């Protein structure tokens, strides 16, 4: 942790006394710290607007507030430009294996149902629209303009993205989280909390569901059970086709996100390796999708 980050955190006016600062792992678009302020613990997130990845901190703040009001996320207690302070949740931070536990997966699906429908009722202001196919077009443009090492693949990936967008077809609109990594779920023993709203915005529920599945490597039976619990009816072939097209798009978005990060990110991470892994995952899932639906 840099002295400048520690000094900035220590100078915030929300503390009651001398604080202890502990860096937290994770966070590919921000820095996170656990703060002990007497008997109360908080998490501080340092991060500015990120136009490259379409992150608006104003949108994140509004999402965080609304998520607290509907009972799914800890309270936002303070913010100023580049800083959010939320209450610390003492619980089990999920990994992929935790998400795949049948009881946990049911609870997560129920949480998402509530989040998707209830959050817009509490959101103040104009929320963003996170349409993954427009995000892919944005990334394609950045990669072309930035002289990406992956430029030769971009025309082919753009054609695939256009085909997937058509295959998804008509959608419902809900308020999505849009970044359902396992570490964004915390189980305190009584309920599961949802955190981190960098990419929150209106979207199809299929994106959160497919993003949940791809980030946590759900198997076919788990995916079908997830869809049927969310929608309350058997998953017919049309819904399954739309869902699997969106899943391919979710994986492609992660690969292009990493390609863009190779060019622009200042985070100390091997993005080239992350790109390779996610592009391989996309290619494998897309090959299965083509074999089944074409």
The answer to whether the beta carbons of residues 174 and 116 sit under 8 Å apart is yes
CA dihedral 58, 61, 66, 70 (to 10 degrees): 160
Instruction: Point out the domain boundary residue: 87, 108, 133.
Output: 87
Least confidently predicted of 147-161, 176-190, 200-214, 255-269? 255-269
Domain assignment of residue 15, given as a range: 3-87
What does the mean pLDDT of the chain come to?
95
Tokens representing 44 are: 């501080």
Residue 3 scores a pLDDT above 80:
no
The answer to whether the beta carbons of residues 211 and 242 sit under 8 Å apart is no
Residue 1 scores a pLDDT above 60:
no
For 209-247, letters b (16+ CB in 10 Å) and e give bbbbbbbbebeeebbebbbeebbeeebeeebebbbbbbb
Instruction: Point out the domain boundary residue: 20, 55, 87.
Output: 87
- Predicted local distance difference test score (pLDDT) of residue 268: 80
Quick one: 191 and 259 in the same domain? Answer: yes
Residue 236 scores a pLDDT above 80:
yes
Quick one: 128 and 67 in the same domain? Answer: no
- Please report how the helices 237-264 and 132-145 are oriented relative to each other, as an axis angle in degrees rounded to 10: 30
pTM of the model: 0.94
Rounded to whole angstroms, the Cα distance separating 25 from 7 reads: 19
Mean pLDDT of 49-68: 96
Quick one: 240 and 150 in the same domain? Answer: yes
Q: For residue 272, how many C-alpha atoms fall within 13 Å in the half-sphere facing its CB?
A: 3
- pLDDT tens, residue by residue, 66-111: 999 999 999 999 999 999 999 999 999 999 999 999 999 999 999 9
């Amino acid at each position: 942790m840099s002295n400048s980050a520690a000094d900035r955190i220590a100078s915030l006016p929300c503390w009651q006394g001398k604080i202890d600062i502990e860096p937290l792992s994770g966070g590919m678009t921000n820095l996170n710290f656990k703060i002990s302020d007497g008997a109360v613990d908080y998490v501080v997130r340092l991060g500015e607007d990120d136009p490259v990845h379409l992150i608006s901190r104003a949108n994140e703040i509004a999402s965080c507030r609304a998520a607290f009001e509907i009972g799914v996320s800890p309270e936002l207690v303070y913010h100023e430009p580049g800083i959010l302070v939320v209450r610390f949740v003492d619980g089990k931070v999920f990994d992929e294996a935790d998400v795949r536990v049948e009881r946990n997966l049911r609870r997560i699906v129920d949480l998402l149902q509530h989040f998707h429908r209830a959050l817009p009722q509490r959101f103040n202001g104009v929320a963003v629209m996170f349409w993954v196919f427009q995000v892919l077009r944005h990334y394609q443009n950045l990669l072309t303009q930035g002289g990406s090492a992956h430029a030769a693949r971009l025309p082919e990936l753009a054609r695939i993205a256009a085909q997937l967008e058509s295959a998804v077809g008509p959608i419902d609109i809900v308020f999505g989280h849009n970044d359902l990594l396992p570490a964004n779920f915390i189980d305190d023993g009584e309920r599961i909390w949802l955190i981190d709203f960098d990419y929150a915005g209106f979207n199809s529920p299929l994106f959160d569901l497919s993003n949940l599945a791809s980030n946590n490597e759900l198997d076919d039976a788990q995916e079908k059970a997830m869809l049927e619990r969310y929608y309350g009816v058997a998953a017919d072939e049309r819904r399954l086709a739309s869902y699997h097209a969106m899943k391919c798009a979710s994986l492609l978005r992660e690969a292009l996100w990493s390609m863009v990060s190779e060019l622009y990110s200042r985070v100390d991470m091997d993005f080239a390796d992350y790109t390779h892994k996610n592009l391989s995952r996309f290619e494998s899932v897309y090959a299965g999708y083509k074999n089944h639906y074409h």
